[in-house]
Amino acid sequence: MASALPSDAARATAAGPLWLAQLVPHLRLVHQISGRVRIQFDSASSAALPPSSLAAAAQLQRLRAALPGVRGVAFNPLARSCVIEYDPALIPDSTWPELLSGRPSAATRVWLEQLAQALPDPPPPKETR
């Protein structure tokens, strides 16, 4: 029987929104320089991404408008990647590897709480009869 325990990455996003916790297990950090990070959907798991994760990916595009310090978000669907440009004075460079590895520092947890307030989970769909 499969374990119901969340992955390390999902536990790392516990302070953040659920949409991010659903997305993180499918992401990996490909490249980072100060102020810019490239994140890629894992090709092995992204073929089987649940619809909730696909909707969560759309939330990433809203980061720029929602959070101070995010300068830009660009998707490349063919490469299954996303480039996020950010101000390292407001978002520490360590935020991204900590978030994706499941080992958040106190600073990353604060950023996750800000993210949860700025981009909360959408309400569940209404049931139709």
pLDDT of residue 38: 96
The overall pTM is greater than 0.85: no
Q: Containing H/E element for 46?
A: helix 43-46
Whether the predicted pLDDT of 17 surpasses 50: yes
Q: What is the pLDDT of residue 34?
A: 97
Determine which helix (DSSP H) or strand (DSSP E) holds 106, and give its type and residue range: helix 106-118
> Alpha-carbon distance 105 to 98, whole Å?
7
In the chain, the domains with their CATH numbers are: 8-118 (3.30.1360)
33 has which bridge partners?
Answer: 36
DSSP category for residue 129: -
Q: What is the pLDDT of residues 38-93, one digit of tens each?
A: 999 876 655 555 555 555 566 677 777 778 889 998 888 788 888 999 999 999 99
**Angle at Cα 22 formed by Cα 19 and Cα 24, nearest 5°?**
105
Q: Give the contacts of 108 (CB within 8 A, at least 6 positions apart).
A: 12, 92, 94, 95, 98, 99
